[in-house]
Amino acid sequence: MTENFMDEEITKHKFLAPSKESLLDKMMGLEEAISQHEKKELDENQKHILHICKDYIQSAKACMSGFLSHPHLIWNLLHRADEYLVFLMSQDELYARAIDVKTDFDMTITEKKSTGRCSGRRRKTDYIHSRPSRRRA
Residue 18 CA neighbour count, 13 Å, CB half: 0
Q: What is the pLDDT of residues 30-69, one digit of tens each?
A: 999 999 999 999 999 999 999 999 999 999 988 887 656 7
53-73 residues labelled b (16+ CB within 10 A) or e (exposed): bbebbebbbebbeeeeeeeee
Higher pLDDT, 22 or 123: 22
pLDDT at 98: 82
Q: Cα torsion for 47, 66, 71, 118, to the nearest 10°?
A: -30
d(CA 120, CA 59): 33
Task: Reply yes or no on whether the pLDDT at 135 is more than 70.
Answer: no
Q: 85 near 47, Cβ under 8 Å?
A: no
- pLDDT band per the 50, 70, 90 thresholds, residue 10: low
- pLDDT band per the 50, 70, 90 thresholds, residue 91: confident
- Tell whether the torsion through CA atoms of 53, 55, 61 and 66 is positive or negative: negative
pLDDT at 56: 94
Task: Of 74, 46, 79, give the one whose Cα is nearest residue 58.
Answer: 74
Geometric angle at alpha carbon 81, from 115 and 28, rounded to 5°: 115
